Amino acid sequence: MAVLLFFSATVRAVEIPHAINVDALGGNEFKIVIRTEIRAAPRTVWTVLTDFDHHADWLPFMIESRVVSHLPGTLFVEQEGAIRVVKTYTIRVKQQVWENAPAGRLRFHAVDGDFRKLDGLWTILPAAPGQTTLLCWFTMEPYRHAPEWAVKFIVKRYLSVMVHRLQDQAEIEGRKSHG
């Protein structure tokens, strides 16, 4: 789940606040910052975030997600998904991922696919007992050019749904380990 680009909507009884900011950096490059609180322990959030081979199982817009090679300290992850904006677009990315579980950090960099640039960092921070603050920042520059307003709208819409789904999945996994 280096960057999850494909998301689903769910109904929640209680919304957990999250913030998503999208800033244009010029040209077709954008900086995205995500912050959310999750009612699950940091270890559970880490497990969900780094289980790349199962992201397509719980992220409905993700068609495929798999680790294609594993070297000491780094993984290569291929992900493919689809978004619908007037028509359906398939998005493909191969990322190099560096995991640092003790620090709760996951760094990623696109090495192939539909992005000229995709670089970022997920950070997992302990919050109140049994809760986690999840932060992510990344810059992206897709090869396909789109108006700034469209990119901001699409990114916020899809990432908002993704964040809710990530919260749900981490909470489900947390209940399994405590149930």
DSSP 101: G
Residue 8, domain member (yes or no): no
Residue 44, domain member (yes or no): yes
Confidence (pLDDT) at 14: 43
Confidence (pLDDT) at 35: 95
Number of domains in the chain: 1
Residue 2, domain member (yes or no): no
Residue 108, domain member (yes or no): yes
Q: To which H or E segment does residue 157 belong?
A: helix 148-178
Residue 6, domain member (yes or no): no
Residue 160, domain member (yes or no): yes
| Secondary structure of 9-69 in HEC code, one letter for each residue | CCCCCCCCCEEEEEEEEECCEEEEEEEEEECCCHHHHHHHHHCHHHHHHHCCCEEEEEEEE
Confidence (pLDDT) at 150: 86
Confidence (pLDDT) at 155: 85
**Domain range enclosing 171:** 18-178
Confidence (pLDDT) at 59: 81
Confidence (pLDDT) at 98: 97
Residue 51, domain member (yes or no): yes
Sign of torsion, CA 137 143 148 149? negative
CATH code at position 61 = 3.30.530.20
Confidence (pLDDT) at 161: 86
Residue 11, domain member (yes or no): no
**What average pLDDT values come out for the chain (179 residues) when binned by 10 residues?**
41 58 94 95 95 90 94 94 86 97 96 97 94 96 90 86 90 83
